[in-house]
Structure 1
Amino acid sequence: MGVLDGKVVLVTGGGNGIGRECALLAGHEGAKVLVNDLGAGVKGDDEGSAGPAEQVAREIRAAGGEAVSNSESVASQAAVENMVQQALETFGRLDAVINPAGILRDGMFHKMAAADWDAVLEVHLRGAFNVSRAAVGLFRDQGSGAFVHFTSTSALIGNLGQANYAAAKLGVAGLSRILAMEGAAKGVRSNVIAPFAWTRMIGTIPITDEASAQRVERMRTGMRANQVAQLAVALAADAAADVTGQIFAVRGNEVVLFSQPRPIGSVTRTDGWTPKTLLGGGLQALKPKFTDLGASATVFPYDPF
């Protein structure tokens, strides 16, 4: 018995990396899987191919499971609506969406082209909207459904050269939170995962110094996509019915629960603040609680487990 027996799962970006591992594991755990992947490169700027998604679907079928493929883009609302319809026509239902589809177009913000900003937000944030919007009505009507979206520590903590990616991924975390709040009364759940895993996307990170080289090497050797898939599939299962609205990270064999923004301090002046009094006292009083500018590696400096 698998944790997804009898379920139907749509996995976006399922032809490579984390998406591939999620699709294969969902099939192993008993789900019927719609494997979606545009089949394009990491930057998403070349012609796509149906090959990667169909190859994963074939592997699921060869292992005794049920799977079909789809090679449309999550950036198109019509295409995602087609995916949901394909799941319904092929398998009769849809129970969960696992959504790691994404691209990278890294660069320092002062050099970032508008096209690179738009492309990343279109796939990550618009894509998250598209898959959620296409499935949420169905989930609400049937009284159950799970979204597993993907954020990043680039958004939650920060990394240089990823302003577009961070903006999109923080937006995905916010979207997931509202999906969870609005869906709670209808049995609709949503969570997000910030993954640490060596994939072809991570392989594009520029190595600028010894510290970044060591960080990338730790990811390559100690943090695998199939480790992330374990949590993604678990969150899609009925047994996780009381888990919603949360932000997780997976780093090797470690599963991390993130805090979410809440007030950590305040200052009050009964006669009101002015710029001068804020500069002279208010901001200084809050300064010990400021969050530093350290990147993700400063929060997770230790080797993965």
Structure 2
Amino acid sequence: MPVVDAATLLQLVVGALALVGLVRGAGLAVEKLLALARHFGLSEVLVGVFVLSFGTSLPEIGTHVIASLGILSGTLDYAVASGTVIGANMGSSTAQQFLLFGVFLVGFGDCTLSWGFVRASYLPMLGAFALLLGVAVDGTISHLDGLVLLASFIVYAHFSFTRTARVPRLPEEPVESRHVRRDALVAVAALGVVLASAFVVLSVVETVVDRLRLSGSMLAVVTIGIASALPEFSTVLESIRRRTPLLALGTLLGTNVVNSLVGIGLGGALSTYAVPPSVVLWDLPFKLLVGAGVLGYVWFRRDGSFTRHDGLSLVLVYLVYVAGRLVLFPG
């Protein structure tokens, strides 16, 4: 039975601190980028699609970039690094899709979605999951697969520009930058913190996996995945406070598309990935089938109306997802 010694505990502490740096760095980068966007008069569409959606996905994107560079340089193990970042991606997106969606409904109350919003936001998320499953079913994300995912995001972004109604409002009016150079440097430095923290986290996970003989994918689902969803969680809380449901739902659905198409697509295009069996046999089928089932039931039975009871059910669905993964793919 694996033993947690002092060295492993130290590694876990370092990894926890790096996770904090990962999330805090992403938050600071988004804050400064919003201020710069306000200063240069960028449209709400540009800010919503490329700053807010990308900003809340920075932890996932950062870990993918660092993992791919580590794989290419030989400093990170190919299988462990691949399983870790893909597992983190699945953990984060599933937490957003079910857990945070459920928390939002419980806190906000009854909410009705229009078919236009569903068509422009929810269906692209399911489409991204289906496409990702299609390219990952052979157990690898090749260079070509990565490019296909990135190209699909470009198509998604194009429609986002032409459908401004689907872009969520910002949590609050961003303060215009009064010190452009300083804010730009802070934003770059914060992005550097994100990448450096991601490297530390991945190194710690690789070490812990080796010492304790755990699954890097499962470990990432319940650690990096949850931590990476914290920016979206703050958006959910802000949306509940301001009574702006489209802010939370638009961000949760939009970042799921970014995570699936840009995060994994960029990593695959750079270094290729080995896809853990759990992703193809459990994660993506669960997300896709249950997500479609929830939408079908709520839309056709209640014309798009969600209730607090539905929110509690979604939280339960998330717990079933994690429990099923632990039972079916423990190693």
Q: Which has the higher strand share?
A: 1
The TM-score, its normalising length taken from structure 2, stands at 0.26
The TM-score, its normalising length taken from structure 1, stands at 0.28
Q: Which has the higher helix share?
A: 2
Based on CA coordinates, which of the two structures has the bigger radius of gyration? 1
Q: Which has the higher contact order (CA 8 A, sep 6+)?
A: 2
